[in-house]
Amino acid sequence: MTKPAALVLNQQTAQVIQAAFRHATYPDISGEKSMAFLGKVAYGLTNIQINDLSIENSEVDFKEDDAIDIAIQNVTASFKGTLSYGYTGAWFCTGFIIHICFLCCAACAKGWVAADTSDCYLIFHKLTLHLQGDKQPGWLKQLFTDFISFTLKLVLKGQVCNEINSLAQLLADFIQDRAANFLQDGPIGVDISLASFPVIKANYMESHHKGLLLYKNYSVVFNDSMFAPSLLSESRMLYFWFSDQVLNSLALAAFLDERLVLTITGEELREMFEMEDTEAHQGIVQEIFQGTSYDDSLAKIWSLTPPQIILQPEGTIVKSSVAMELSIFSQGAEPTVVLYFEKLLFYSVNVFDFQDDRSLRHFLQKIISVAGIPEVISRIEPALTSLMNSKGLNLFEIKNPEIITKEGYLIIQLDFDFPHHLLVDFLKKTL
């Protein structure tokens, strides 16, 4: 994640800080104060409430090998409550202007990125406390209210910083939960726990995740990736890189889960077979269908072996052995398999139940290359889009995404706008 991405995320910081102030619990304060001429005076502050909170500005900076520095400037608000001292009680109102500074350290907790904002401090530039109906108190009351203001500062610092730290961790967990859910579908998932501690540089932050397959009792061991962060530029907001080992493990799980199956109906078969409308080809089609209508046929295609995905700078190669079975239906009879063939690695074709006819082989080769493979791809595209939308990807405003294949890995790079409504929903559900 580069600094431009951090600046976009920082636009939502004000919302989080406001939630921290509003959600923080401000305990009742009580004690005694020795004062000149009066001796010991007992006091208590109760029913502390916040009103009219506003934030003028926030800034973010990367501290190399340290933390992300977030500065919230000119936070103005007012607190109201009840101040009791001696034998009297009154409403009090305090207004303040503060700066909040905290360092967000990317730590590791239970294998996940943990947002540690315990290094948090509030700088009060102005804090004035007024008793109800007493805007210009005498020097004795002023002395007392100054002391109460100091006590109130300590309470605000402790409670607000604790709430910011709590919200930061909840938000980090929320984002990682969504990431884990995005890489899971049914029993197939990916372990996104950290492989090492996150690293913060002057212009970006990087984290390395295990990427291991989560599927039943299957375990996959990865070799070290050839990827190094120095291979990336810093012109985009977000970069994701995946080794081909991760993609191959997902392909294995899809194969074992019997997902690599495609059925093609009679009407779709008609369009495919009639792409080559020559007399020779029509003779082959009639031989295959044995005079049966396309409407009474069904083709099933499935993978015989786990697909192998090979990533190269020129593009992506997928290798697999695929079988195709064509059945026809006769009224009152069981379906009859009229054609079965296998295509190995999209190169050679083995035909069963038919004589060794070169014209038939040529016909099947052409049908597969011209119509079959595009048909499979046309099914994959909407299926992947539907899967990504079901994970909420359509809720994000993603800009100019690019997929770049390299030798043994691929990179996804993109810019984005953070969906404000997701943060609002998170705060509502969390708080």
Q: Could you read off the pLDDT of 60-92 as tens digits, one per residue?
A: 888 888 888 888 888 887 777 777 766 455 565
Tokens representing residue 180 in the block? 């884990």
Instruction: With beta carbons less than 8 A apart as the criterion, state whether 240 and 228 touch.
Output: no
pLDDT value of position 352: 41
Report pLDDT for 428: 79
b/e for 389-408, b at 16 or more Cβ within 10 A? eebeeeeeeeeeeeeebeee
Which domains are seen in the chain, by residue range? Answer: 3-179 (3.15.10.10)
Q: What is the pLDDT of residue 254?
A: 92
pTM of this structure: 0.75
Render pLDDT for 98-148 as a digit per residue (tens, 0 to 9).
666 766 766 666 677 777 787 887 777 766 666 665 555 555 566 666 777
Q: Which of 238, 120, 174, 204 is nearest to 429 (CA)?
A: 174
CA distances from 173 to 169, 202, 207, 426, 430 (A): 6, 24, 15, 11, 11
Q: Where are the beta strands (DSSP E) in 329-396?
A: 336-344, 348-352
